[in-house]
Amino acid sequence: MLNPQSDFSSFMKSCRDRVEFALDSSLPQHEDPTQLRAAMRYSLFNGGKRVRPILAYASALAVNSKQNPELVDSIACALECLHSYSLVHDDLPAMDDDDLRRGKPTCHKAYNEATAILAGDGLQTLAFNYLANSQFSAETKVELIKCLIWGAGADGMVLGQAIDLAAVDKQITLEQLETMHRYKTGALIRASVRMGAIASAANQQQLVDLDNYAAAIGLAFQVQDDILDVTADTETLGKQQGADIAHNKPTYVSILGLEDAKQKAQDLYQDAIQSLIQFGESAEPLRLLAAYIVGRSY
């Protein structure tokens, strides 16, 4: 079993190093008459935790403990590009209007609004380029691309963002809040886990179990974000503390209260662990990732 203080931290670092090396190698800083490429790199390399790529690597290993991580690199890069694009657009004045992201000026503050929009567009399309040029068979490439489209598009993350914007200044139920976040945060996390499993040729039952795991941690991720928004300070968060309250956005804390929100995160963690019961030691990184998600302090 992996030791969360040594083996697991090494696993996380190895995954981060892999995806950052691959991104850096494939997106060099060429001479550019505009600031587009610089803004894309600024948004990619600003201290992200790389949770979605790590989930893909861990999912691939859960299905096949001997999986070559090099095969998963293209998936990891695609996921991080897609996620980074979503944050660039999420921070824009027309959306959440945030000035800080991971302790640094948001892309539209570091550059300008138009450049940030275009940088997000560039990152989004680059994500699919990684998958189209990956080492997988044509059939698997199509399956991966369809999975990312589902997780990121109008049936997934983008839909969740639209629901979120529509909910500002409104009273919504816990069920409605969960629906929103199953799309906004959860869909891309589910896609990350599924894409890693596809890379290792998972069978149907494995895909179902891993999707149940991903659905639980996807929601737990957002619950913990809402908890941190009221319990952590701006320096620790790397973004403005209390931003959701300032924007009058519904959260798990505002609906459930802080203690019940913490219990909700723990319940979701247990659901995630239970979903992996048919997997052996090879799924230990996924189990430890679930603990990391609900236990993180930033």
Percent over 70 (pLDDT), the chain = 91
CA distance 120 to 114: 10
pLDDT of residue 102: 83
Tell me the domains of the chain and their CATH numbers.
Answer: 7-295 (1.10.600.10)
234's tokens: 């701006």
Q: Return the pLDDT at 295.
A: 86
Asked if the model's pLDDT at residue 167 lies above 70, the reply is yes
Q: d(Cα 241, Cα 229) in Å, to the nearest integer? A: 6
What does the mean pLDDT of the chain come to? 91
Amino acid 82 reads L
Beta carbons within 10 angstroms of residue 34's beta carbon: 10
Q: Which of 62-71, 97-106, 132-141 has the lowest mean pLDDT?
A: 97-106
Could you report the per-residue pLDDT of 120-159, keeping only the tens digit for each? 999 999 999 999 999 999 999 999 999 999 999 999 999 9
State the average pLDDT over residues 155-174: 91
How does pLDDT run across 215-232, given as a tens digit for each residue?
999 999 999 999 998 886
Confidence category of residue 5, pLDDT binned at 50, 70, 90 = very low
**Does residue 93 register a pLDDT over 60?**
yes
pTM of the model: 0.91
Q: How far is CA 14 from CA 21, 27, 173, 297, in A?
A: 11, 20, 41, 21
